[in-house]
Structure 1
């Protein structure tokens, strides 16, 4: 795995996913349970609200030395002092991000088609999000359900770190790592859990067992 990318359990968090609970509190519990990278994904907030939430999260995450990634918003990423940004196939291209934000330390890029692996944009990505591995209600605008076979196939075609996302939970984390993913990205299995710390611990244990 790329020395720059060391995450094993990656939380994708939003206010909505936290179901009325405080986003900073839920995220901190997840970090205490083993989450080592956090992406803030807010599609419905104003830039100001998104930035304010990002700064609150970053202030907490800095205490744990956990990097903050912003989903698809260079303005918020730069304003909040985030570590990096994550974009999808239909978002701003990675090459343009590098132009707009030269100091970006981590750039994630979601892979929804195998053809993307031969796209010039791939070269600008520090890690690839395999999205979704299994279909999920969290993200309904995707075209491919990769499954375990898809992860194995992508693993053979690239040496970039692979982050598996899409209905990841304690029942499939072990198999997904065994299939070739370097990291598991989780939304509802942690954000929606009664005890986010415990949920993160269980997932982290599954991942470590598979390595």
Structure 2
């Protein structure tokens, strides 16, 4: 595997201009809301409506900086009536998440940041490549949020059997096949458990 990198703890993103790293406070806090997003980013930069969801579904979400993929944030709310209590926040392509995780981070780097190996869903379906961290440094983040990443293979392997890591299976990040596939972070999100299941 590649040499493992060391990263610093994330900083807060609380202003319209993105900082290099984000944390689960301010706009991203457990008690955030559409009203807070408007206050921070301005009404012209905040849009709430129906967006595509997984497996052909649709869902209600609030998007900050719609139309700008390098900055766009998408908030899905537990309390849709009041547009508050974020369940999931999709981060923009330019973001650095907790510990310096970013789009393009390798599996080796993720393991180094987390301090241990982890598991994720097999590739090739709507929830394919999805990883949330049950243990390790990325499993217990300040502010009570959890980090999720979408992983994707970047190597074009002809003649290599990748079926063991495809489909509805649990894949270990230490699987040697993944090094050949050059698996990297493709999407980033942070989220919170439902209010009924919080400590």
TM bracket, shorter-chain basis: under 0.3
The structure where helix makes up a greater share of residues is 1
The structure where strand makes up a greater share of residues is 2
The TM-score with structure 1 as length reference comes to: 0.25
Q: Which of these two proteins has the greater Rg computed from alpha carbons? A: 2
More relative contact order in 1 or in 2 (CA 8 Å, sep 6+)? 1
The TM-score with structure 2 as length reference comes to: 0.26
